[in-house]
Amino acid sequence: MTELLDKIIIRFFFIILICLVLVGYRYAHAFFYGNHRPQTLRRFFPTKNASDTIHLFARILGVVIIFQNITVSMAHGIWWASINFCCEGIIVFLMYLGSIYIIEGIALYDFEYTNEITERKNFAYATVSGLQAIAVAIVLTSIFKAAQHSLPLLFILWPLSLVLLGITAKLFKYLSVLSFSKMLIQGKMAIALSYGGHICGWSFLIAAAFHNNGSALQWYAGHIILRLLLSIIIFPLIRQGLILVFRIQNDYNPGTAADTPERELGQGIYEGLLGLTSCILIAIITENIEFDPFYDH
């Protein structure tokens, strides 16, 4: 009974510690983004601006996704565990916010938070930014696991992951018939859904490529690149296979008289879900097939 009570007290202690670390996240967010993104330092009203709400809570969700990788060992006592927990939490927050800042600079360089969220209440921009933050969290979760508490390896994998995410963001315009900048300025949800499916789908594949299977470090980078090259080769095959199996006839022609908001939205949903589904199927193919027992025979 005493042991059970101790465990409950320790868990309550770490609940308080998590809240304190999240307070640190608020100020770290303000440090990275300056005074034009003050929603973390003031009283927040979620019903006042829905765009601001999704923008903020997508980042909080991203923090929580990464936070699940932090493990607490009580082997050396509660105070050492607390210090270790806080240090890892700070590293997580700084890398996460730094990653969002860099990826937004690549994908959303023509847009500013003040103009799009505060003034125009652009829900499409908020959705793109929010889903992009979640995609960053998915990839960072994988590299934290792969690094296995090794800071040198973590600081090698982190820039590589940002390069891959940046390339993924840039490649969107070659995979979609929708105009990214034009439609995002107009606040159309079609582009947000299309881009969201693209960036989240490929974040799963990038994250899967970083899974450390015990290979030596000198082969690890090659393993990551080969996995992604395999995904790139398989992607159009899976995508076209889905189109053929379900007999999808895409009759969307941008810029014509038949180009209605309803058709634009349908095209955005179609592109986003088709891309996301294709990426998940590729992840199943590349992750869930084990060859070792087969070759042992």
Query: DSSP per residue over 58-89, as a string?
Result: HHHHHHHHHHTT-----TT-HHHHHHHHHHHH
Residues 115-139 pLDDT 10s: 898 889 999 999 999 999 999 999 9
What is the per-residue pLDDT for 1? 57
Tell me the average pLDDT across 155-173. Answer: 92
pLDDT-derived band at 181 (thresholds 50, 70, 90) equals: very high
State the pLDDT at residue 218. Answer: 67
Structural domain contains residue 86: yes
Classify residue 213: in a domain, yes or no: yes
- Cβ atoms < 10 Å from Cβ of 16: 9
Let me know if residue 296 belongs to a domain: no
Q: Is the pLDDT of residue 165 over 70?
A: yes
* Residue 165 Cα distances to 65, 133, 202, 254, angstroms: 17, 11, 8, 27
Domain residue limits at 81: 2-289
Compute CA distances 144 → 64, 104, 221, 283, whole Å: 14, 21, 15, 19
Q: What is the mean pLDDT of residues 24-41?
A: 62
**pLDDT value of position 77:** 73
pLDDT > 70 fraction of the chain, expressed in percent and rounded: 86
Q: pLDDT (tens digit, 9 = 90+) per residue, 76-87?
A: 777 777 777 778
The string of pLDDT tens digits covering residues 182-219 is 999 999 999 999 999 999 999 999 999 988 655 566 67
At residue 137's C-alpha, the angle toward residues 90 and 179, to 5°, is 135
* C-beta pairs of 173-176 under 8 Å, 24+ apart in sequence: 175/271, 175/275, 176/271
Q: Which residue has the higher pLDDT, 128 or 90?
A: 128
CA–CA gap between residue 227 and residue 210 (Å, rounded): 9
Mean pLDDT over each residue of the chain, to the nearest integer: 84
Tens digits of residue pLDDT in 216-229: 666 777 888 888 99
Buried b / exposed e over 203-242, threshold 16 CB at 10 Å, is: bbbbbbbbebeeeeeeebeebbeebbeebeebbeebbeee
For residues 88 and 18, is the Cβ–Cβ distance under 8 A? no
Within-domain flag for 209: yes
| pLDDT of the residue at 297 | 52
This prediction's pTM = 0.88
CB 22 within 8 A of CB 15: no
Query: Which of the four pLDDT bands, split at 50, 70 and 90, describes residue 41?
Result: low
Q: Structural domain tally of the chain?
A: 1
In this prediction, residue 206 carries a pLDDT of 94
